Amino acid sequence: MKKIMSVLLIVILVMGSLVGCGAKQEATGVEKIGLVISTLDNPFFVTLKDGAVAKAKELGYELVVLDSQNDPAKELANVEDLLTQDVKVIMINPTDSDSVVNAVKAANQKEIPVITLDRGANAGDVVTHIASDNAAGGKMAGEYIVKELNNAGKVVELEGIAGTSAARDRGQGFNDAIKASEIKVVAKQVADFDRTKGLNVMENILQAQPEINAVFAHNDEMALGALKAIEASGRDIKVVGFDATDDAVKAVKDGKMLATVAQQPTLIGSLGVEMADKTIKGEKVDTAIPVELKLVTE
Protein backbone atom coordinates (compact mmCIF):
# COMPACT_ATOMS: atom_id res chain seq x y z
CA MET A 1 0.00 0.00 0.00
CA LYS A 2 2.88 2.32 0.88
CA LYS A 3 4.48 1.58 -2.48
CA ILE A 4 1.24 2.42 -4.29
CA MET A 5 0.91 5.70 -2.34
CA SER A 6 4.52 6.57 -3.14
CA VAL A 7 3.99 5.97 -6.86
CA LEU A 8 0.80 8.08 -6.84
CA LEU A 9 2.61 10.89 -5.05
CA ILE A 10 5.40 10.86 -7.63
CA VAL A 11 2.87 10.94 -10.48
CA ILE A 12 1.06 13.90 -8.89
CA LEU A 13 4.32 15.79 -8.38
CA VAL A 14 5.41 15.16 -11.98
CA MET A 15 2.04 16.26 -13.37
CA GLY A 16 2.11 19.36 -11.19
CA SER A 17 5.55 20.30 -12.46
CA LEU A 18 4.41 19.83 -16.07
CA VAL A 19 1.36 22.04 -15.51
CA GLY A 20 3.54 24.66 -13.89
CA CYS A 21 5.97 24.49 -16.77
CA GLY A 22 3.13 24.89 -19.26
CA ALA A 23 1.80 27.91 -17.38
CA LYS A 24 5.23 29.49 -17.42
CA GLN A 25 5.52 28.97 -21.19
CA GLU A 26 2.07 30.50 -21.65
CA ALA A 27 3.00 33.52 -19.55
CA THR A 28 6.18 34.15 -21.50
CA GLY A 29 4.72 33.34 -24.92
CA VAL A 30 5.90 35.27 -27.98
CA GLU A 31 3.55 38.07 -29.03
CA LYS A 32 1.91 37.78 -32.44
CA ILE A 33 1.61 40.22 -35.33
CA GLY A 34 -0.70 39.44 -38.25
CA LEU A 35 0.10 40.07 -41.90
CA VAL A 36 -2.62 39.77 -44.54
CA ILE A 37 -1.15 39.84 -48.06
CA SER A 38 -3.23 40.60 -51.18
CA THR A 39 -1.59 37.74 -53.10
CA LEU A 40 1.55 35.64 -52.80
CA ASP A 41 1.40 34.88 -56.53
CA ASN A 42 3.05 38.26 -57.15
CA PRO A 43 6.85 38.33 -56.59
CA PHE A 44 6.64 41.91 -55.25
CA PHE A 45 4.40 40.88 -52.36
CA VAL A 46 6.48 37.77 -51.67
CA THR A 47 9.48 40.07 -51.20
CA LEU A 48 7.41 42.37 -48.98
CA LYS A 49 6.42 39.37 -46.87
CA ASP A 50 10.04 38.22 -46.62
CA GLY A 51 11.07 41.65 -45.33
CA ALA A 52 8.38 41.47 -42.66
CA VAL A 53 9.32 37.92 -41.66
CA ALA A 54 12.98 38.84 -41.23
CA LYS A 55 12.22 41.92 -39.12
CA ALA A 56 9.70 40.03 -36.95
CA LYS A 57 12.32 37.37 -36.24
CA GLU A 58 14.86 40.06 -35.39
CA LEU A 59 12.49 41.80 -32.96
CA GLY A 60 11.23 38.58 -31.39
CA TYR A 61 7.65 38.45 -32.70
CA GLU A 62 5.68 35.60 -34.22
CA LEU A 63 4.40 36.73 -37.61
CA VAL A 64 1.20 35.06 -38.82
CA VAL A 65 0.97 35.46 -42.61
CA LEU A 66 -2.27 34.86 -44.52
CA ASP A 67 -2.78 35.06 -48.30
CA SER A 68 -5.97 36.73 -49.58
CA GLN A 69 -5.43 35.44 -53.14
CA ASN A 70 -6.71 38.77 -54.52
CA ASP A 71 -10.16 38.00 -53.07
CA PRO A 72 -11.72 40.70 -50.82
CA ALA A 73 -14.00 38.11 -49.18
CA LYS A 74 -10.99 35.95 -48.27
CA GLU A 75 -9.21 39.06 -47.05
CA LEU A 76 -12.04 39.78 -44.60
CA ALA A 77 -12.06 36.12 -43.50
CA ASN A 78 -8.28 36.29 -42.94
CA VAL A 79 -8.63 39.33 -40.71
CA GLU A 80 -11.46 37.70 -38.77
CA ASP A 81 -9.25 34.63 -38.34
CA LEU A 82 -6.42 36.77 -36.95
CA LEU A 83 -8.80 38.44 -34.52
CA THR A 84 -9.28 35.03 -32.86
CA GLN A 85 -5.52 34.46 -32.55
CA ASP A 86 -4.67 37.18 -30.03
CA VAL A 87 -2.57 39.21 -32.45
CA LYS A 88 -1.44 42.60 -31.15
CA VAL A 89 -1.39 44.39 -34.53
CA ILE A 90 -2.69 43.51 -37.98
CA MET A 91 -0.76 44.62 -41.06
CA ILE A 92 -2.82 44.55 -44.26
CA ASN A 93 -1.70 44.81 -47.86
CA PRO A 94 -5.19 45.39 -49.31
CA THR A 95 -6.64 43.64 -52.34
CA ASP A 96 -8.73 46.77 -52.93
CA SER A 97 -8.75 50.11 -51.12
CA ASP A 98 -12.57 50.13 -50.89
CA SER A 99 -13.20 46.47 -50.12
CA VAL A 100 -10.60 46.36 -47.35
CA VAL A 101 -12.63 48.86 -45.32
CA ASN A 102 -14.80 46.08 -43.85
CA ALA A 103 -11.70 44.23 -42.69
CA VAL A 104 -10.20 47.38 -41.15
CA LYS A 105 -13.44 48.16 -39.33
CA ALA A 106 -13.66 44.58 -38.02
CA ALA A 107 -10.23 45.07 -36.42
CA ASN A 108 -11.25 48.54 -35.17
CA GLN A 109 -14.25 47.01 -33.36
CA LYS A 110 -11.90 44.61 -31.55
CA GLU A 111 -9.52 47.52 -30.83
CA ILE A 112 -6.67 45.82 -32.71
CA PRO A 113 -4.42 48.42 -34.40
CA VAL A 114 -4.16 48.23 -38.20
CA ILE A 115 -1.23 49.17 -40.44
CA THR A 116 -1.66 49.28 -44.23
CA LEU A 117 1.20 48.38 -46.57
CA ASP A 118 1.69 49.48 -50.21
CA ARG A 119 -2.05 50.06 -50.75
CA GLY A 120 -4.20 52.19 -48.50
CA ALA A 121 -7.72 51.85 -47.09
CA ASN A 122 -10.35 54.40 -48.09
CA ALA A 123 -12.03 54.32 -44.65
CA GLY A 124 -11.60 52.89 -41.17
CA ASP A 125 -8.98 53.77 -38.55
CA VAL A 126 -5.40 52.98 -39.55
CA VAL A 127 -2.38 53.65 -37.34
CA THR A 128 -0.07 54.31 -40.28
CA HIS A 129 0.21 53.70 -44.02
CA ILE A 130 3.59 52.60 -45.37
CA ALA A 131 4.12 52.86 -49.12
CA SER A 132 6.11 54.34 -51.92
CA ASP A 133 4.84 57.62 -53.33
CA ASN A 134 2.97 55.96 -56.18
CA ALA A 135 1.98 59.26 -57.80
CA ALA A 136 5.63 60.35 -57.85
CA GLY A 137 6.60 56.98 -59.34
CA GLY A 138 3.99 57.26 -62.08
CA LYS A 139 5.21 60.77 -62.84
CA MET A 140 8.79 59.49 -62.96
CA ALA A 141 7.78 56.86 -65.52
CA GLY A 142 5.79 59.35 -67.57
CA GLU A 143 8.59 61.89 -67.69
CA TYR A 144 11.03 59.23 -68.88
CA ILE A 145 8.66 58.13 -71.64
CA VAL A 146 8.20 61.76 -72.72
CA LYS A 147 11.98 62.11 -72.93
CA GLU A 148 12.49 58.84 -74.83
CA LEU A 149 9.72 59.64 -77.33
CA ASN A 150 10.99 63.20 -77.85
CA ASN A 151 7.76 64.69 -76.53
CA ALA A 152 5.40 63.06 -79.06
CA GLY A 153 3.91 59.63 -79.75
CA LYS A 154 1.17 57.15 -78.95
CA VAL A 155 1.15 55.18 -75.72
CA VAL A 156 -0.84 52.45 -73.98
CA GLU A 157 -1.55 52.45 -70.26
CA LEU A 158 -2.14 49.10 -68.55
CA GLU A 159 -3.96 49.73 -65.28
CA GLY A 160 -3.84 47.77 -62.04
CA ILE A 161 -6.80 46.51 -60.03
CA ALA A 162 -9.55 49.13 -60.17
CA GLY A 163 -10.11 50.75 -56.79
CA THR A 164 -6.59 50.23 -55.42
CA SER A 165 -4.71 53.33 -54.31
CA ALA A 166 -1.61 52.10 -56.16
CA ALA A 167 -3.41 51.94 -59.52
CA ARG A 168 -5.12 55.28 -59.01
CA ASP A 169 -1.98 57.14 -57.91
CA ARG A 170 0.39 55.62 -60.49
CA GLY A 171 -2.06 56.42 -63.25
CA GLN A 172 -2.55 59.96 -62.00
CA GLY A 173 1.19 60.60 -61.79
CA PHE A 174 1.77 59.19 -65.27
CA ASN A 175 -0.99 61.23 -66.90
CA ASP A 176 0.11 64.40 -65.10
CA ALA A 177 3.61 63.89 -66.53
CA ILE A 178 2.50 63.51 -70.16
CA LYS A 179 -0.33 66.06 -70.33
CA ALA A 180 1.92 68.93 -71.38
CA SER A 181 3.48 66.86 -74.19
CA GLU A 182 2.21 65.79 -77.60
CA ILE A 183 1.88 62.22 -76.36
CA LYS A 184 -1.55 60.64 -76.74
CA VAL A 185 -2.91 57.67 -74.77
CA VAL A 186 -4.52 55.53 -77.48
CA ALA A 187 -5.61 52.71 -75.15
CA LYS A 188 -6.11 52.39 -71.42
CA GLN A 189 -7.25 49.07 -69.99
CA VAL A 190 -7.31 47.23 -66.65
CA ALA A 191 -5.13 44.10 -66.40
CA ASP A 192 -5.33 43.62 -62.61
CA PHE A 193 -1.56 43.69 -61.91
CA ASP A 194 -1.44 40.21 -63.49
CA ARG A 195 1.10 38.96 -66.06
CA THR A 196 -1.28 36.70 -67.98
CA LYS A 197 -3.93 39.41 -68.12
CA GLY A 198 -1.28 41.89 -69.23
CA LEU A 199 -0.41 39.53 -72.09
CA ASN A 200 -4.02 38.99 -73.14
CA VAL A 201 -4.99 42.66 -72.90
CA MET A 202 -1.92 43.74 -74.85
CA GLU A 203 -2.60 41.21 -77.61
CA ASN A 204 -6.04 42.73 -78.10
CA ILE A 205 -4.68 46.27 -78.07
CA LEU A 206 -2.00 45.41 -80.62
CA GLN A 207 -4.70 44.17 -82.99
CA ALA A 208 -6.77 47.32 -82.53
CA GLN A 209 -3.97 49.90 -82.60
CA PRO A 210 -1.70 49.99 -85.65
CA GLU A 211 0.62 52.58 -84.10
CA ILE A 212 1.98 52.30 -80.55
CA ASN A 213 5.29 53.79 -79.42
CA ALA A 214 5.32 52.92 -75.74
CA VAL A 215 3.49 51.12 -72.92
CA PHE A 216 3.30 52.16 -69.29
CA ALA A 217 2.14 49.34 -67.01
CA HIS A 218 1.18 50.00 -63.39
CA ASN A 219 3.34 47.05 -62.33
CA ASP A 220 6.06 44.80 -63.71
CA GLU A 221 3.88 41.71 -63.97
CA MET A 222 1.62 43.45 -66.50
CA ALA A 223 4.65 45.00 -68.20
CA LEU A 224 6.25 41.58 -68.67
CA GLY A 225 3.00 40.15 -70.02
CA ALA A 226 2.74 43.06 -72.45
CA LEU A 227 6.37 42.57 -73.45
CA LYS A 228 5.68 38.95 -74.38
CA ALA A 229 2.77 40.01 -76.59
CA ILE A 230 4.88 42.72 -78.21
CA GLU A 231 7.77 40.32 -78.90
CA ALA A 232 5.36 37.86 -80.51
CA SER A 233 4.02 40.64 -82.75
CA GLY A 234 7.48 41.66 -83.92
CA ARG A 235 6.74 45.34 -83.26
CA ASP A 236 9.18 47.79 -81.69
CA ILE A 237 7.45 49.27 -78.62
CA LYS A 238 9.10 50.64 -75.50
CA VAL A 239 7.82 49.22 -72.19
CA VAL A 240 8.06 50.82 -68.75
CA GLY A 241 6.93 48.96 -65.63
CA PHE A 242 6.72 49.59 -61.91
CA ASP A 243 8.14 47.62 -58.91
CA ALA A 244 11.61 46.59 -60.14
CA THR A 245 10.99 42.87 -59.61
CA ASP A 246 13.90 40.57 -60.46
CA ASP A 247 12.38 39.55 -63.81
CA ALA A 248 11.77 43.16 -64.80
CA VAL A 249 15.23 44.36 -63.81
CA LYS A 250 16.72 41.53 -65.87
CA ALA A 251 14.52 42.53 -68.83
CA VAL A 252 15.80 46.11 -68.52
CA LYS A 253 19.42 44.95 -68.35
CA ASP A 254 18.86 42.72 -71.40
CA GLY A 255 17.48 45.69 -73.34
CA LYS A 256 13.97 44.22 -73.61
CA MET A 257 12.24 46.71 -71.29
CA LEU A 258 12.97 50.42 -71.32
CA ALA A 259 12.71 50.98 -67.56
CA THR A 260 10.99 50.10 -64.29
CA VAL A 261 10.28 52.20 -61.23
CA ALA A 262 12.03 50.64 -58.26
CA GLN A 263 10.15 50.30 -55.03
CA GLN A 264 11.64 48.67 -51.97
CA PRO A 265 9.19 45.94 -50.95
CA THR A 266 11.61 44.44 -48.43
CA LEU A 267 11.79 47.81 -46.67
CA ILE A 268 8.00 48.25 -46.76
CA GLY A 269 7.56 44.89 -44.98
CA SER A 270 10.36 45.60 -42.53
CA LEU A 271 9.03 49.06 -41.67
CA GLY A 272 5.57 47.55 -41.15
CA VAL A 273 6.89 45.32 -38.38
CA GLU A 274 8.95 48.17 -36.89
CA MET A 275 5.84 50.36 -36.69
CA ALA A 276 3.85 47.44 -35.25
CA ASP A 277 6.52 47.07 -32.57
CA LYS A 278 6.30 50.78 -31.72
CA THR A 279 2.50 50.58 -31.61
CA ILE A 280 2.59 47.59 -29.25
CA LYS A 281 4.96 49.52 -26.98
CA GLY A 282 2.65 52.54 -26.99
CA GLU A 283 5.04 54.74 -28.96
CA LYS A 284 3.80 57.38 -31.39
CA VAL A 285 4.20 56.71 -35.14
CA ASP A 286 3.63 58.95 -38.16
CA THR A 287 0.32 58.45 -39.96
CA ALA A 288 2.12 58.05 -43.31
CA ILE A 289 5.62 56.71 -43.95
CA PRO A 290 6.96 57.16 -47.50
CA VAL A 291 9.50 54.76 -49.00
CA GLU A 292 11.95 56.15 -51.56
CA LEU A 293 11.71 55.34 -55.28
CA LYS A 294 14.21 55.34 -58.15
CA LEU A 295 14.12 54.64 -61.88
CA VAL A 296 15.99 51.58 -63.19
CA THR A 297 17.07 52.14 -66.80
CA GLU A 298 20.03 49.79 -67.23
Compute the average pLDDT of residues 150-167: 94
The answer to whether position 178 is within a domain reads: yes
First to last CA, the chain: 86
Residue 38 and residue 185 in one domain: no
Tell me, yes or no, whether 6 lies in a domain.
Answer: no
CA angle at 32 for the pair 24 and 64, rounded to the nearest 5°: 130
**Model pLDDT, residue 100:** 96
Are 249 and 270 part of one and the same domain? no
Do 224 and 169 have their domain in common? yes
What is the span of the domain harbouring residue 158? 134-262
78 with 188, same domain?
no
Residue 86 has pLDDT above 80, yes or no: yes
What pLDDT digit, counting tens, does each position of 37-59 carry? 999 999 889 999 999 999 999 99
> What's the chain's length in residues?
298
Please say if the pLDDT value at position 12 is more than 90.
Answer: no
Q: 114 and 93, same structural domain?
A: yes
pLDDT exceeds 60 at position 23? no
Strand partners, 90: 34, 114
Q: For residues 112 and 87, is the Cβ–Cβ distance under 8 A? A: yes
**CATH code, domain carrying 73:** 3.40.50.2300
**Cβ proximity of 33 and 64 under 8 Å:** yes
d(CA 184, CA 208): 15
Give, as one character, the DSSP assignment of residue 42.
S
If asked whether residues 138 and 258 sit together in one domain, one would say yes
Higher pLDDT among residues 2 and 47, named by residue: 47
- Sorted by sequence, the CB contacts under 8 Å of residue 43 that are 6+ apart come out as 221, 245, 246, 247
**Does one domain contain both 275 and 254?**
no
21 within some domain: no
Res. 165: pLDDT tops 70: yes
pLDDT tens-digit series, residues 211-244? 999 999 999 999 999 999 999 999 999 999 999 9
Residue 90, helix vs strand vs coil: strand
Residue 285 and residue 223 in one domain: no
Q: Establish if 150 belongs to a structural domain.
A: yes
Quote the CA–CA distance of 123 and 104 in Å, as a whole number: 8
Q: pLDDT band at 35, cuts 50/70/90?
A: very high
Q: What is the mean pLDDT of residues 96-111?
A: 95
